[in-house]
Structure 1
Amino acid sequence: MNGTGAVWSACFLLLALLISILASYTMFNFTGNLKRKNNQFRVFWLAGGAFVFGVGMWVKHFVGVLAEGDPIFITWSMPVSLLFTIFFSLMAFVMLTFHNVIRYRLLVGSLILGFGVTFMNYFSVLGQPIRAPIVEPSLIVLSLLFLFSGTYASLWLAELSGERFNWLASLVLGFSVFVEQLLGSKGLEIEYLSPFYGASVDKMSQDINLLTLIIGLGMLLLLVSTLFTWYIDKRMNQMDERYKLLVENSLDTIAIFKRDKWVFVNEAGLRMFEAEEANELLGASIYAFLRPEDHEAVRERMHNLVITGNSGPLEQEWFTLKGKMLNTEIVELMTTLENEPAIQVIIRDISERKKNEELLINSEKLYVAGQLAAGIAHEIRNPLTSLKGFLQLLASGRKDTGTYYDIMKSELTRIEGIVSEMLMLSKPQVYDLSYHDVRSSMRETVTLLETQAILHSIMIETDFGPDPLWVYGVENQVKQVFINVIKNAIEAMIDGGAIRVRMRRVDDTVQIRISDEGPGIGETQLSKMGQPFYTTKDKGTGLGLMVSYKIVDNHQGNIQVDSQLGSGTTFEITFPFRYPETNSVKKSG
C-alpha cells in the first residue's frame, strides 16, 4: 500500500470509529429517555434508538471495509443485514426494559445486541461474490469476546449512571464494535471472485458512487438524529426541572409508592410525617403508617388502580413517625418509575379542617337545639297562658265553667299535639305496621278537608288511578302527611282555585302528586323547606312539614317540591310499592 493509500486507510478507520461512537451516543440518548417518569413516547424511543444504532453500524461497516481496501458490491445482503441489525437492536433494548422480570436482562440484552452487530459484519461480507473463506478461529473468538464484553460494560454504565456517563458508555460500545470488525476482518481471509464479477468498469463506478451516497446519507442521518435527541433531551430536562420545582415547593405531600414501599417523597411529606431525613421513609412499607383496619381496603384500592388509573379524592388516616394521627385527603394516580409500575399520591393534611368541621357541627347542633327550645317554649307558652287565665277565672268563682273547661281541654290537647310531634322527631317509635292501599288514606283526607276547601273557594280534584297502590307502614302517619300537605295548600290559596291530586304506580314506587294554584315558593324558602320551626305562615310552627318529611323518610320514601312564583307548588311524594302478604291486607274503601 503506497503512502496515499495508507493515509486514506487511516482516515477511513478514524471515520469508522467516530461513526461507531456517534451512533452509540445517539442510541443511548434515545433509550435513556425511557427512564423518565411520565413516558408517553416509549415506542418512539425504542424504535428510534434501534434504527439509529442499526444505520450507524451499517455505515461504519462499509467505511471499515473501504479502510481495508476490499472491494464492495451492491448486493441483496446489504439491505437485509441493515434490517436484521435494527431488529436485533430493538429486541435488545426491549429486553433492557424488563426490570425485575428477567434476572439477567443486561447479559441477555448485551448478547442480543452483540449478535446483531456480528450478524451485520459477517453477513454483509459473506453476501459478496467470494470464494470459500479461510477462517482463523482464535481471532474470531477474540473479536467476539471483546465485542460482548464491551457491549455488556457499556449497557451497565448506561444503566448505572444514566445521562452523566452516556459519553463513556458510548466510547466503550463504539470502540468495542470497531475493534470487533478489525479483528474479525483479520480472522476471515476472503478471496473475491473476478474484480468485475462479469460487470463493466462503468458498473463498478456506479456501485462505488451509490455506496458513497449511502454512506453520506447515513452520516447525515446520524448527525440529524444526534442534534434532534440533544434538543429533545434539553427540552425534557427543562420540563423535568420545572416539574421538580413544582413538586419540591408543593404544600401538599407528593410521594411515589412501588411495591407498597416509599420510593420518593418531597419536603412537604417529610414535614407532614415528622421525618428529619428522607431515608426514614424511603424503603419503608406504607402499611406501617396506616391503621391495621385500613390495610385491606388500601391494598384493594391500589390493586384496582391498574384498571381505573386513578382514585380520589378520598379521606385516609395516617400515623407519623412519632405516632401522631393525621386526617388527610388523598389522590392516587397510576404511573411508571424506571419502567416499572408505581403509584403517585398527593396527600393533603385536613386535620385542622376536620377540627373546624366538628366545631361547626357542634355549633349547628347548639343552634338547632336553641331554635327547637325557643320554638317549643313559644308554642307551649301561649296555651299555658290561656290555661293560667282560665284557672284564675275558676278560682274567682265565675260561672259558665263548662265553656272554660272546653277551652282548657282544647289548649291541653294542643300542648299534647306539640309534644307528640317532637317525640316523633326524637327517635323511632313502635307502631303497628300493615299493608294498606294509600288511595283509601287519600280519600279519607280529601273528605276531611273538603269542607274547609269549599269555604276557601277551592276545589279538590282527584285522580286515584285504576290499580291498588300498596304501601307497607303506619296508615295514620301516611294520612297525616297528606293532611299536612293539602292543608298547607288550602291555607296558601287565599284567592281560591283548584288543588289536583294524582296517584299512580311508577315502576316499583307509589307516586302521589299534589299541586296547588297558590302564590308559589321562592328558591330561598324552598331550600329551607322541612327545617324545624321554619314557616311562611303567621301562626305556623313549621313542625308540620318537618314531621311529614320524617314520616316519609321512615317509610323509605321521598318528597320532592317544585314551585314557581305566581304559578303554584307541586309536592311529589313517593313510597316503595309493596305487594301485600296473605292475611296482612287492609282493603281500600
Structure 2
Amino acid sequence: MEKDEIKRLNFLLQIYLDVNVDKDFSVLSKNEDPFFIINTVGQLVYVNDVCETLLASTIPELLQMRLSNIFISTCLNETQTFFFEKGHEKLTNFDSKISMKNGTVMDVNVTTFPILFNKEVVGSYVVLKDITLIKMERELLSEKQAVAAELAAGIAHEIRNPITAIKGFLQLMLGEYKGEPMYFNIVESEIARIEVILKELMVLAKPIKKRDEKLRIRLLLDQVLTLMESQVLLNSIQVEKRFYLSEETILGDENQLKQVFINYIKNAIEAMPDGGKLLIEGSISAEDQVQIRIIDQGCGIPAEMINRIHEPFYTTKEQGTGLGMPVSYQIIKEHKGDMNIISNLDGTCIEVSLPIVY
C-alpha cells in the first residue's frame, strides 16, 4: 500500500475515532470487551482499559505497538497484519497466540470486524478473549446444563402424566357442556403451552436424535423466511437478504435447524416492536464454514444478559420459558457448529457457523 494512501485512510480513521469512540460511543462495551482498534497497516490507534489489563501493558505503551509487537510472527502474514488476509470486509473469528511481557505465550480467540467510513475500510476492531477463560466458562456452563438436564427430566416426568389426564377429562367435559366455551378454550390453550414447555425440557434433558441429511443451506433459509413471512408483515419488518451462497450443503436435521433459525428470527422481530429492518446474511468463511447472520435494529442486549443467554430458564420476557436460546445453542453444537452474539444500542447480530460438506 502506497504511503499517500495509508495517510489518507489514517486521516479517515481519525475522523471516525473523533466522532465515535472519543465521545464515549463504541459498538463494544468499554467495560466488558477487551478490544483495540488498528489502522490498515496494523498500528494500534485505540485501546480500551480491559485490553490494557489483559495484555499487561499500559495504554501509552500499546499505542506505540503494531500487531507484530503483540502476536507471535507465525500468526501474521507478510504485511504483519491478519485481518486483510482473513477477509477484511466481514466479521472473522480465529484462534491465535500473543507473546506476553514475561516471555510466556497466551492462547487467545480473536474476533475482527471492519470499520467502514465513507464506504471504505479504514481500520478494524480486534476483540480478544483468553482461551483459558473461555474453556473455564464452557466447563461451568456444561455443569449447569447437566444439572438443568437432570432437573428437566424429573419435572417433565412428574408433570406429563397429570397433564395427560387433565387434557383427557377436559375433552370429555367439552362434549357435554353447552354454555360459553371461552373458559374451556383458555384452559385448553394453557395446557397446550405446558406441553410445549415439556417438549423443550425434554430436548434439554435428552437431545432428540438428529436425522442427518445433506441440506442446501440457502434453500433452508428461504423456507424459514417463507414460514415467518406473516409475522414479518404483521410487525412492519422489512427483510433484506444478502446471500453469497449458491449450492453449498451442510449435514444436519432439517427440522431442528429450522427451529433454530425460526427462534432467532422471532427474537429479532420481538426486538423491534415498532418495526424496522431485519438483515439476513449468508456467506462462506475461509475455514469451509457457512456463516449466517441475523441482524436486527432493536435496542440491543445488555452485556450481562449476553453472558447468561444460554442458561436454561433465564429470560426477561413475560411469556418466555427461558429455553429457546439454550435449546437452539445445543442444537447448533450437536451439528458441530457455533453461535456468537454481538450487540449494541443499534441492534443485535446473531452469527451461526456450520461446517460445509462436499
1:544 corresponding residue in structure 2: 324
> Once the 2 structures are TM-superposed, how far is the Cα of residue 477 of structure 1 from its aligned partner?
0.8
The structure 2 residue matched to 1:562, chosen from 338, 342, 349, is 342
1:578 corresponding residue in structure 2: 357
1:31 corresponding residue in structure 2: none
2:247 corresponding residue in structure 1: 468
Question: Take 1:369 and 1:523, find their aligned partners in 2: how far apart are those partners?
Answer: 25
Q: Summarize the Cα distance change of 1:394–1:427 in structure 2 as closer, same or farther, 3 Å threshold.
A: closer
2:22 corresponding residue in structure 1: none
Q: Summarize the Cα distance change of 1:531–1:366 in structure 2 as closer, same or farther, 3 Å threshold.
A: closer
Question: Take 1:539 and 1:379, find their aligned partners in 2: how far apart are those partners?
Answer: 19
> Once the 2 structures are TM-superposed, how far is the Cα of residue 429 of structure 1 from its aligned partner?
3.6
Question: Take 2:241 and 2:160, find their aligned partners in 1: how far apart are those partners?
Answer: 37
Question: Take 2:348 and 2:195, find their aligned partners in 1: how far apart are those partners?
Answer: 31
The structure 2 residue matched to 1:398, chosen from 174, 177, 188, is 177
Structure number with the higher helix fraction is 1
Correspondences of 1:219-258 after superposition (within 5 Å): none
Question: Take 1:525 and 1:377, find their aligned partners in 2: how far apart are those partners?
Answer: 30
> Once the 2 structures are TM-superposed, how far is the Cα of residue 416 of structure 1 from its aligned partner?
3.8
The structure 2 residue matched to 1:424, chosen from 203, 215, 234, is 203
Task: Give the aligned residue type for 1:551.
Answer: I
CA contact (8 A) 1:372 1:532 kept: no
Give the secondary-structure state (helix, strand or coil) at the position aligned to 1:493: coil
The structure 2 residue matched to 1:479, chosen from 253, 258, 261, is 258
With normalisation by structure 1, the TM-score equals 0.33
CA contact (8 A) 1:394 1:401 kept: no
> Once the 2 structures are TM-superposed, how far is the Cα of residue 424 of structure 1 from its aligned partner?
2.3
2:230 corresponding residue in structure 1: 451
Q: Summarize the Cα distance change of 1:418–1:373 in structure 2 as closer, same or farther, 3 Å threshold.
A: same
Task: Give the aligned residue type for 1:570.
Answer: C
Q: Summarize the Cα distance change of 1:532–1:376 in structure 2 as closer, same or farther, 3 Å threshold.
A: farther
Question: Take 1:409 and 1:461, find their aligned partners in 2: how far apart are those partners?
Answer: 38
Task: Give the aligned residue type for 2:239.
Answer: I
Correspondences of 1:166-177 after superposition (within 5 Å): none
Per-residue CA deviations over 1:143-199 (Å, capped at 9, x if unaligned) read xxxxxxxxxxxxxxxxxxxxxxxxxxxxxxxxxxxxxxxxxxxxxxxxxxxxxxxxx
Give the secondary-structure state (helix, strand or coil) at the position aligned to 1:503: strand
Question: Take 1:471 and 1:527, find their aligned partners in 2: how far apart are those partners?
Answer: 28
With normalisation by structure 2, the TM-score equals 0.52
Structure 1 residue 525 and structure 2 residue 305: aligned? Answer: yes
Structure 1 residue 553 and structure 2 residue 333: aligned? Answer: yes
Gaps of 5+ in 2: 1-102, 106-139
The structure 2 residue matched to 1:438, chosen from 217, 222, 231, is 217
Per-residue CA deviations over 1:268-319 (Å, capped at 9, x if unaligned) read xxxxxxxxxxxxxxxxxxxxxxxxxxxxxxxxxxxxxxxxxx999xxxxxxx
CA contact (8 A) 1:516 1:570 kept: yes
Calculate percent identity across the aligned residue pairs: 37
Q: Summarize the Cα distance change of 1:398–1:462 in structure 2 as closer, same or farther, 3 Å threshold.
A: same
Structure number with the higher strand fraction is 2
Q: Summarize the Cα distance change of 1:378–1:560 in structure 2 as closer, same or farther, 3 Å threshold.
A: farther
Task: Give the aligned residue type for 2:280.
Answer: V
Give the secondary-structure state (helix, strand or coil) at the position aligned to 2:228: helix
Structure with bigger RCO (C-alpha 8 Å, 6+ apart): 2
Per-residue CA deviations over 1:81-125 (Å, capped at 9, x if unaligned) read xxxxxxxxxxxxxxxxxxxxxxxxxxxxxxxxxxxxxxxxxxxxx
1:489 corresponding residue in structure 2: 268
> Once the 2 structures are TM-superposed, how far is the Cα of residue 438 of structure 1 from its aligned partner?
1.3
Question: Take 2:338 and 2:189, find their aligned partners in 1: how far apart are those partners?
Answer: 33
> Once the 2 structures are TM-superposed, how far is the Cα of residue 385 of structure 1 from its aligned partner?
11
Task: Give the aligned residue type for 1:453.
Answer: V
> Once the 2 structures are TM-superposed, how far is the Cα of residue 532 of structure 1 from its aligned partner?
0.5
The structure 2 residue matched to 1:534, chosen from 314, 322, 333, is 314
Question: Take 2:300 and 2:165, find their aligned partners in 1: how far apart are those partners?
Answer: 35
Gaps of 5+ in 1: 1-309, 313-359, 580-589
CA contact (8 A) 2:200 2:323 kept: yes
